[in-house]
Amino acid sequence: MEEIYEPLDKSLQNVGALMNAAEAHGILSSFICVSQSNDKWLQHILGNATVDGLASECQQQLILIKNYTSEQLNSCDLFTKKPKKSAN
């Protein structure tokens, strides 16, 4: 995940986003958890950043993070994996 965060953080800084990568991930996670399927989370993160090449690249990076995070949160293992029983 680190290989995604550093470039995203730089992209967010370059476009003048309202937050850094960690904050963006927090906003994104909360939107996913409350089933917000629209793209309003991008507005919260990018603010009024102009839609140029840099903003477009940043948006693509954010969508990759969204897809990865969504897969992790919807993973069966996350909610159904039972703790291992001890040998005792």
| Separation between Cα atoms, residue 49 and residue 82, nearest integer Å | 44
In a domain, 88, yes or no: no
Q: Is the pTM of this model over 0.75?
A: no
* 5-38: pLDDT as tens digits: 888 899 999 888 889 999 998 988 888 888 766 6
Helix (H, G, I), strand (E, B) or coil at 84: coil
What does the pLDDT read at residue 48?
74
In a domain, 35, yes or no: yes
Checking if the pLDDT of 86 tops 60, the result is: no
Buried b (16+ CB within 10 A) or exposed e, 33-57: eeeeeeeebbebbbeebeeeeebee
| Separation between Cα atoms, residue 20 and residue 6, nearest integer Å | 10
What does the pLDDT read at residue 53?
67
In a domain, 83, yes or no: no
* 31-68: pLDDT as tens digits: 888 876 667 788 888 877 766 667 788 888 888 888 88
Q: One-letter amino acid identity for 41? A: W
In a domain, 26, yes or no: yes
In a domain, 86, yes or no: no
What does the pLDDT read at residue 84?
44
* Number of domains into which the chain is organized: 1
Range of the domain at 28: 2-78
